[in-house]
Each structure stands twice: as structure tokens, then as C-alpha cells.
């Protein structure tokens, strides 16, 4: 099993590499999906105690080098290791003819690619919290690029009045061309009490290049937290604080989730609104997000 | 040794408790200092490879329940488990007659209280990253309260135009009275790539109550990071990014460190400046910070 894990890690290194051509990335991501879910198939499934209404969660329990390891919580309704649907989704993205009727299943396979890689890493390299986050960012970047057909950048120039130009590292920025808005896409596996960073990064771009030049649109995996002793899963959501950030720091046009917390749905009806949606919606509404 | 650790944890619970009277807190903190450094005295000292110019670091290596555990990196020049100087410092704070000639030693004992508690927790409860942060916040709050003689609050009212008052959780706020500026004090053991949160929280207070109503003044322990395999210690510092935050998000009047990174010293001469200083300076300059 360690060997299969090493194969997955090596595919991950390929996805991370900027040199890969797009057709190769398609193969690497599909293989990560296939191998990660196959590897997880060897492990026991442990039901977790869900404290989230209408959602149920489980985790994988593996024994690695004599020690028991648990994966992170996985949403039972979203875990769907179906490679055929994954291939359909990717083909639809590339052809621009994504079937709207397939939304629900597409969201499930996107979630499953992300969470299965994270779960494998939890079990085989549990001290390494960086790899899941890095993989998730490259994975979401790969999907958005398939749709928008542009490569993202991860820095902007800041013009200094004293003539010292500074390059500022940023989250993913997809630029659709001159005189068009640009997507600013922070990608995180969760935000919890760090969500204010999303608004603060948007504020920087607004400050440097002007308001509405960049469309703020974070993509997040989930907000679950598992209590180690009781196996209870909760979602850490702070909707009232998000509204204060949207009022006093900057404006995020969308917040997308793979495992969408219900607690954020009502923010679409607040003043000012925050549109928090399942990530699959982006692929159908991106022109609207960008032009309205 | 586990018993001594449990005694320290029980003292920690007392310090956290809001019920304790001030005179009791003095005793609890002094005992945490005494017991933590005594407990660490049982462990082997391991020299680390410092990649930070002019600083050397070590850690404690303990064997707990058959497993080897390492503490976080400790600055050799600042580790000074001297209870007499600690008592002098606390007495000086309370009387308002702190000896300026003792600055260097006072900073060392403040650092040693904080880092020795963290190191003990690293060794006995290494998965628990929350306790060191919580202790550090209560400890810094305790010291500032000794000087300013006011209790901090940790929330503010946000006035909503539609009449729905919202209470917003905040970092520590010390209010010296009506028509006087208030200190806004985020306390963190490190910031690394999360530093932007300090400016964003200040931005919220500026937005809700107006610019310069709250004096932003974070207190941080250190920015060290230890690479597990090579035992190399680096400092994660991002001075150019801090300047962009100070330009485009909000204004922090001071940033205080217990183990001050040299990389931030030059920011005092930037335009706009960021005054990053050793924490001990606060106790001598607080009236200036507050009124200028």
C-alpha cells in the first residue's frame, strides 16, 4: 500500500509542476482520483457522529506501520468515486458543452477527487498538513483553467511612488484580457477563524488597482471539524462575522464550496448580500459573475 | 513528571479563569514559571542549527511514554529562568517604578515564562496547538493589565442601520476611558503567512468606530520555524508584504515581539513606518504610543 501511496505522491508532483502540458494534467488528475479511491478501498469505514443537520459523515481507518490512522471527515452524500462521470465532466468542460442536468453528480466527483487525495495523505502522512492544501489549490486551478482557457498568475506588481516596484504574492488570478475584470481566486481546504484573510487579500487588490477590477471568488472545500475523542463532526461557520467583513473590508462576489455549509445560504438575502454557492455553479454562471 | 505537568495545567486553568483575583494570578503565573522551568530541567538540551544571523537556538528533548518528543525552538540568549528577576519585574509593574536599566533582563524573563510553558506543552501534549496560544494570550493580557490597571474586553458592539445590534468578537481591547484612545491588542505566538489578519482586524475597528479610535498594537512571541529532519531554525519574515498591508489595509501603531526578528527593524524607517519593537518597550513608552 505504501507503494501505491508513493505513486499518488509522484502524480501529485506532476500536477504541481508548471511544465506539464494540459493533456498530461488530465491524465494525472484522473489517475490520482482512481488510485486514491482504490487505496482507500482497503481501509475500514468508520461512521462519525454528525452534529450537522441533514448531513452524515464517515472517515477511513487504516493501520500504517503498526499505528492506527484516521482520515478527515468525508460527507457520505458527496463521496462518489465514479471515474466515468469524472471523464464526462472534464470532456464537458473542455468542449464548453457541460450538461446542466449532471450538476449534482459533477459536484460529487469534484468533491471526491479532492477529499480522497486528502484522506490518503491523512492516513499515510498525517503530520503533513501542507500537501492537501497545495494539491487542492492546483486541482481547483486546473478545473478553472479548463473552463476559462487562461493560465493563472500568482503575483501582481505594486507601483511605489518612490519608484521601487514591488511584486506582491497573491492567490490565483485569472485574467481574461485587457479592460475585462479579472478573477481573484483564493483556494483553501477550510477557513474557520481565518476567513477574514479572504476579504483582506481582496482589499489589497482593490487598493492597488481599484475597486471591481478584480472579482473576488474564493473556492473552499469544507468547514468540518472532527473532535478526536468523541468522533463528532461539526461545521465551523461564522455568518454574522462574514457580513461584518463584507461591510467593512471588501466585497467578495462569490464564495464557492465543494461541501457547502447550510449556515451560509441565508447570506444571499442579507444587505449587502454574500453569494455562497456550491462550486459546480461557477461553471454555469461564470460569465454572469464576471460581467454583473 | 506527568504529575508535575498536570499541576502546571491546573495552574493554567486558574490563569484562564476570569474569576481569579489579581493577587492570585501573580502567584499562579510565578508558579507556572517555576514549575515549567523545573520540569524542563529534567530533559536533554539539543542544539539546533540556526539559520538566523546573530541568534542561536536549542530545544528540549524528552522521552514521554516511550516516545521521543521535542519542544519548539528556544532562543539561547533569551532563556533565563530567574524567578527573582521575574518577581522584581512584577513588583515594578505594580508600583509603576520599573527600573529602565533592567529592560534586557525583564524581556528575558517574560520570554522565558512564555516559551517554557509552550515547551512543556510541546513535550507532554504535542498534538495540542491551542493551549500554548491561549496561555500566551492570557499571560500578555495579565502583564498589560498590571500596567494599565484596566480589564480588557473581547468584543465590541456593531451598530446596524436596520436596528439589529451585533456583538463582534475581537482581540483584547483595553479601554482607558471616554475620549481616550483604546489599545487593540491581538496576541499570537507567531504570524507567518497569517500576518494580514492583524491589519484586517484593525480595519474592522477603524470601520466601525473610526480611524485612530483604537490603537493597533499586536504582541507576538516569535517567528521561528524548525525543520523537523535537519533541525534547522529559520525566521519567517515578510517585511515587504507588511508594508503593503500598512499602506492598503490599516495602520498598526506598534508591533511588539518577545523574540524580535531583525528583519523587521528597518520598517521603522520606511514610509509609512511600522514600529516593530521588543515587547519590554511597551511598559516604558505606553503613554507615548497612546497619545501620539
| Neighboring chain A residues of B247 at a CB cutoff of 8 Å | 207
Give the nearest partner residue to A197 out of B197, B203, B243, using CB atoms.
Answer: B197
A251 interfacial to chain B (CB closer than 8 Å): no
Q: Cα(A63)–Cα(A14) distance, rounded to whole angstroms?
A: 28
| Neighboring chain A residues of B204 at a CB cutoff of 8 Å | 196, 244-245, 248-249
Looking at residue A180, what is its pLDDT? Answer: 86
Confidence of residue B1 (pLDDT cuts 50, 70, 90): confident
Q: DSSP characters for A6-28?
A: HHHHHHHHHHH-TT--HHHHHHH
B168 interfacial to chain A (CB closer than 8 Å): yes
Looking at residue A290, what is its pLDDT? Answer: 80
Q: Are strands B57-64 and B44-47 parallel, antiparallel or unpaired?
A: antiparallel
Q: Which residues contact A250 (CB under 8 A, 6 or more apart)?
A: A199, A200, A202, A203, A206, A216
| Neighboring chain B residues of A197 at a CB cutoff of 8 Å | 194, 196-197, 200
Residue B242 near residue B273 (C-beta atoms within 8 A) = no
pLDDT, mean of residues B182-198: 96
Would the CB atoms of B249 and A208 count as touching at under 8 Å? no
Looking at residue A114, what DSSP letter applies? H
Give the nearest partner residue to A249 out of B194, B203, B241, using CB atoms.
Answer: B203
Q: Is the peptide bond before B272 cis (omega within 30 degrees of 0)?
A: yes
pLDDT, mean of residues B158-166: 80
Instruction: Give the CA distances from residue A268 to residues A143, A273, A275, B100, in Å, rounded to whole numbers and listed in that order.
Output: 25, 5, 5, 56
User: What is the residue-level pLDDT of chain A in tens, covering all 292 positions?
Assistant: 889 999 999 999 999 886 656 778 899 999 999 999 999 999 999 999 999 999 999 999 999 888 899 999 999 999 999 999 999 999 999 998 999 999 999 999 999 999 999 999 999 997 888 999 999 999 999 999 999 999 999 999 988 888 777 788 999 999 999 988 899 999 999 998 899 999 999 999 999 999 999 999 999 999 999 998 899 999 999 999 999 999 999 999 999 999 999 999 999 999 899 999 999 999 999 999 887 7
A101 interfacial to chain B (CB closer than 8 Å): no
> Within a 10 A sphere around the Cβ of A149, how many other Cβ atoms?
12
Interval B45-97: pLDDT, tens: 999 999 999 999 999 999 988 889 999 999 999 999 999 999 999 999 999 89
A210 interfacial to chain B (CB closer than 8 Å): no
Confidence of residue B269 (pLDDT cuts 50, 70, 90): very high
Would the CB atoms of A207 and B249 count as touching at under 8 Å? yes
Looking at residue A167, what is its pLDDT? Answer: 87
Residue B79 near residue B57 (C-beta atoms within 8 A) = no
Would the CB atoms of B240 and A203 count as touching at under 8 Å? no
Closest CA to B195 of B112, B279, B274, B134: B274
Q: Is the pLDDT of residue B19 over 70?
A: no
Q: Cα(A3)–Cα(A9) distance, rounded to whole angstroms?
A: 10
Helix A130-148, helix A22-40: angle, nearest 10? 140
| pLDDT above 70 as % of chain B | 99
| Neighboring chain B residues of A207 at a CB cutoff of 8 Å | 247-249
Looking at residue A20, what is its pLDDT? Answer: 58
Looking at residue B20, what is its pLDDT? Answer: 58
Would the CB atoms of A196 and B201 count as touching at under 8 Å? yes
A162 interfacial to chain B (CB closer than 8 Å): yes
| Neighboring chain B residues of A244 at a CB cutoff of 8 Å | 158, 166, 168, 204, 208
Q: Calculate how close chain A gets to B248, using CA atoms only, in Å.
A: 6
**What's the CA dihedral at A199, A204, A209, A213 to 10 degrees?**
-10
Instruction: Give the CA distances from residue B24 to residues B31, B56, B122, B137, B142, in Å, rounded to whole numbers and listed in that order.
Output: 11, 35, 26, 18, 11
Would the CB atoms of B204 and A244 count as touching at under 8 Å? yes
Query: A221-234: buried (b, 16+ CB within 10 Å) or exposed (e) per residue?
Result: bbbbebeeeebbbe
Looking at residue B126, what is its pLDDT? Answer: 75
What does the longest C-alpha to C-alpha distance in chain B come to? Answer: 61
With 0-12 CB in 10 A as exposed, 13-18 as middle and 19+ as buried, what is B34?
middle
Interval B128-152: pLDDT, tens: 889 999 999 999 999 999 999 999 9
pLDDT, mean of residues B16-27: 78
Instruction: Give the CA distances from residue B231 to residues A209, A213, B86, in Å, rounded to whole numbers and listed in that order.
Output: 42, 45, 31
> Is the model more confident about B21 or about B136?
B136
pLDDT, mean of residues B158-174: 86
B155 interfacial to chain A (CB closer than 8 Å): no
pLDDT, mean of residues B201-219: 95
Looking at residue A17, what is its pLDDT? Answer: 84
Q: Calculate how close chain B gets to A122, using CA atoms only, in Å.
A: 14
Q: DSSP characters for chain B?
A: -HHHHHHHHHHHHHHH-TT--HHHHHHHHHHHHHHHHHHHTTSEEEE-EE-STT--EEEEEEEETTEEEEPPPEETTT----HHHHHHHHHHHHHT---GGGHHHHHHHHHHHHHHHHHHHHHH-TT--HHHHHHHHHHHHHHHHHHH----EEEEEE--TTS--EEEEEEEEEE--TTS-EEEE-EES--GGGTHHHHHHHHHHHHHH-TTSEEE--EE---EEEETTTTEEEE---HHHHHHHHHHT---S-EEESS--GGGGGGGGSSS---EEEGGGHHHHHHHHHH-
Q: Cα(B39)–Cα(B60) distance, rounded to whole angstroms?
A: 11
| Neighboring chain B residues of A243 at a CB cutoff of 8 Å | 166
> Within a 10 A sphere around the Cβ of A113, how many other Cβ atoms?
27
Q: DSSP characters for A184-199?
A: EE-EES--GGGTHHHH
Best interface-test mutation with B: which of A134, A166, A209, A249 has the largest number of B CBs within 10 A?
Answer: A249
Q: Cα(A133)–Cα(B151) distance, rounded to whole angstroms?
A: 39
Instruction: Give the CA distances from residue A80 to residues A76, A220, B229, in Å, rounded to whole numbers and listed in that order.
Output: 9, 19, 37
Q: Cα(A156)–Cα(A237) distance, rounded to whole angstroms?
A: 31
A247 interfacial to chain B (CB closer than 8 Å): yes
Q: Cα(B250)–Cα(B208) distance, rounded to whole angstroms?
A: 13
Which long-range contacts link A269-274 to residues 24+ away (Cβ below 8 Å)? Answer: A270/A243, A271/B162, A272/A243, A272/A246, A272/A247, A274/A242, A274/A243, A274/A246
B208 interfacial to chain A (CB closer than 8 Å): yes
A241 interfacial to chain B (CB closer than 8 Å): yes
Q: Calculate how close chain B gets to A207, using CA atoms only, in Å.
A: 6
Mean pLDDT over each residue of chain B, to the nearest integer = 94
A159 interfacial to chain B (CB closer than 8 Å): no
| Helix (H) / strand (E) containing A43 | none
A158 interfacial to chain B (CB closer than 8 Å): yes
Looking at residue B31, what is its pLDDT? Answer: 97
pLDDT, mean of residues B282-291: 91
Q: Residue A169: closest CA among chain B residues belongs to which residue?
A: B241
Q: Calculate how close chain A gets to B217, using CA atoms only, in Å.
A: 18
| Neighboring chain B residues of A208 at a CB cutoff of 8 Å | 244, 248
Residue A223 near residue A51 (C-beta atoms within 8 A) = no
Amino acid at each position: 500500500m505504501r507503494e501505491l501511496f508513493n505513486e499518488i505522491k509522484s502524480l501529485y508532483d506532476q500536477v504541481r509542476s508548471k511544465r506539464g502540458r494540459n493533456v498530461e494534467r488530465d491524465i494525472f488528475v484522473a489517475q490520482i482520483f482512481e488510485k486514491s479511491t482504490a487505496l482507500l478501498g482497503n481501509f475500514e469505514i468508520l461512521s462519525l457522529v454528525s452534529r450537522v443537520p441533514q448531513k452524515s459523515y464517515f472517515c477511513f481507518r487504516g493501520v500504517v506501520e503498526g499505528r492506527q490512522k484516521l482520515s478527515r471527515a468525508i460527507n457520505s452524500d458527496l463521496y462518489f468515486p465514479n471515474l466515468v462521470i469524472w471523464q464526462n465532466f472534464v470532456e464537458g468542460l473542455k468542449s464548453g458543452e457541460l450538461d446542466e442536468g449532471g450538476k449534482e453528480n459533477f459536484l460529487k466527483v469534484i468533491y471526491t477527487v479532492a477529499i480522497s487525495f486528502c484522506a490518503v495523505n491523512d492516513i499515510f502522512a498525517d503530520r503533513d498538513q501542507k500537501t492537501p492544501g497545495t494539491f487542492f489549490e492546483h486541482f481547483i486551478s486546473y478545473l478553472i483553467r479548463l473552463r476559462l482557457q487562461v493560465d493563472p498568475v500568482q503575483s501582481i506588481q505594486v507601483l511605489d511612488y518612490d519608484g521601487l516596484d514591488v511584486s506582491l504574492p497573491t492567490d490565483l488570478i485569472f485574467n481574461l484580457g485587457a479592460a475585462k475584470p479579472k478573477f481573484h481566486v483564493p483556494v483553501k481546504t477550510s477557513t474557520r477563524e481565518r476567513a477574514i484573510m479572504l476579504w483582506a487579500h481582496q482589499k489589497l487588490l482593490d487598493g492597488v488597482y481599484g475597486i471591481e477590477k478584480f472579482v473576488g471568488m474564493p473556492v473552499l472545500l469544507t468547514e468540518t471539524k472532527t473532535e478526536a475523542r468523541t468522533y463528532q463532526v461539526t461545521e465551523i461557520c461564522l455568518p454574522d462575522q462574514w457580513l461584518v467583513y463584507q461591510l467593512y473590508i471588501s466585497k467578495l462576489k462569490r464564495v464557492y464550496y465543494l461541501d457547502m455549509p447550510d449556515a451560509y445560504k441565508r447570506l444571499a438575502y442579507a444587505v449587502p448580500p454574500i453569494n455562497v454557492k456550491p462550486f459546480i455553479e461557477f461553471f454555469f454562471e461564470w460569465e454572469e459573475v464576471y460581467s454583473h
